[in-house]
Amino acid sequence: MSLHLNNPRPHRIGSLNLIDLKRIQRQGSLSVAEARIRNMLKFVSAIIFEALANPLLYLVSVGIGIGALVDQNLGEAGLGGVSYLTFIAPALLATTAITGAMDEVVFPCMDGFRWQKTFYAMNSTPLTPRQIASGVFLSAMTRTVFAVTCYWVLLYLFGALDSPRSWLAIPTAILAGAGFGALMLGFASFIENEDLFMTIINRMIVMPMFLFSGTFYPLSNMPIYIQPIGWISPLWHATELGRFLTYDYPISLTMAILHVSVMLVLLVVGLLWAFKNFERRLEK
């Protein structure tokens, strides 16, 4: 058996000075993200397919199919002067960001804490619970960035983007994904026992958010007591901003700042909550 021990290197600690603790403190979450991405790559064909096929399906069926009906009837007057396709494009972009982030956050939490307990394996190394949470979040963001970019290119090819600023809708959509993803990371790491609960969350939070955030129709079409669902939804904020960026939909500077702030707040609050949950569960 050839298991042998190496020569030491002077500035490192740990077993025979192999380990650079400062480097781990700086970059530890990247190693977690790499492990998650390797897992994701096992399903890469599904991810690519979803990044491309999903947008196509929506663009054709809803954007063009329903769009034909809308444009023929109330048409541009009801939508502020643009085609239905242009109207829904930024909303679908933000939705892609959000669902992509959510997938890569919720499932790894269930897996890492309960099914395979891989987070506990990570925690027995010099990594900290915060780094593990950050790594999962970062890997979710890689999927978000990929999916949003693919979708944006498709929107461009479909002619759904009307403004030279429209590429900025990519970062705003990603920010929406980051905000909601962080919140979901907090949630998924908080729930200790109920897989069922996550399914319910899907039905009671994600679905209403998707339907009442001004995605398929202007939020103002809804009675005023339903509109608050949209106001607290990161999807609505990203959609409003996205519309401004892709076809000059008018919003005030105050509102623009508000939209960005809400998503940033969700991001920060979500991550801090996630950190607390990861620390609590891994240090029991």
Asked if residue 228 binds other proteins (CB under 8 A), the reply is no
Closest residue by Cα to residue 237 from 261, 207, 273? 261
Asked if residue 192 binds other proteins (CB under 8 A), the reply is no
The DSSP code for 13 is B
Token code pair at residue 241: 């901003």
Asked if residue 20 binds other proteins (CB under 8 A), the reply is yes
Return the SS3 of 19: strand
Asked if residue 108 binds other proteins (CB under 8 A), the reply is no
Asked if residue 120 binds other proteins (CB under 8 A), the reply is yes
Q: Which is nearer to other proteins, 2 or 254 (CB)?
A: 2
Name the segment binding other proteins (CB under 8 A); options: 21-29, 50-58, 153-161, 209-217.
Answer: 21-29
Closest residue by Cα to residue 247 from 155, 147, 148? 155
The DSSP code for 125 is T
Residues 143/177, Cβ–Cβ less than 8 Å:
no
Please tell me the distance from the alpha carbon of residue 117 to that of residue 138, in angstroms, as a whole number.
19
The only residue of 61, 116, 202, 221 in contact with other proteins, by rule CB under 8 A: 116
φ, ψ for residue 13, nearest 5 deg: -110, -170
Question: For tokens 């991001």, what's the residue?
Answer: 267
Residues 242/90, Cβ–Cβ less than 8 Å:
yes
Q: Which is nearer to other proteins, 4 or 203 (CB)?
A: 4
Asked if residue 46 binds other proteins (CB under 8 A), the reply is no
Asked if residue 284 binds other proteins (CB under 8 A), the reply is yes
Residues 201/180, Cβ–Cβ less than 8 Å:
no
Q: Which is nearer to other proteins, 189 or 246 (CB)?
A: 189
The only residue of 8, 65, 159, 228 in contact with other proteins, by rule CB under 8 A: 8
Asked if residue 28 binds other proteins (CB under 8 A), the reply is yes
The only residue of 60, 121, 157, 207 in contact with other proteins, by rule CB under 8 A: 121
Going 127 to 129 to 131 to 134, the CA torsion angle's sign is positive
Asked if residue 44 binds other proteins (CB under 8 A), the reply is no
Asked if residue 122 binds other proteins (CB under 8 A), the reply is yes
Asked if residue 283 binds other proteins (CB under 8 A), the reply is yes
Asked if residue 193 binds other proteins (CB under 8 A), the reply is no
Distance of CA 37 to the CA centre of its chain: 15
The DSSP code for 8 is P
Asked if residue 204 binds other proteins (CB under 8 A), the reply is no
Asked if residue 12 binds other proteins (CB under 8 A), the reply is yes
Contacts with other proteins, residue ranges (CB under 8 A): 1-8, 10-21, 23-25, 27-28, 31-32, 34-35, 38-39, 42, 116-118, 120-128, 282-284
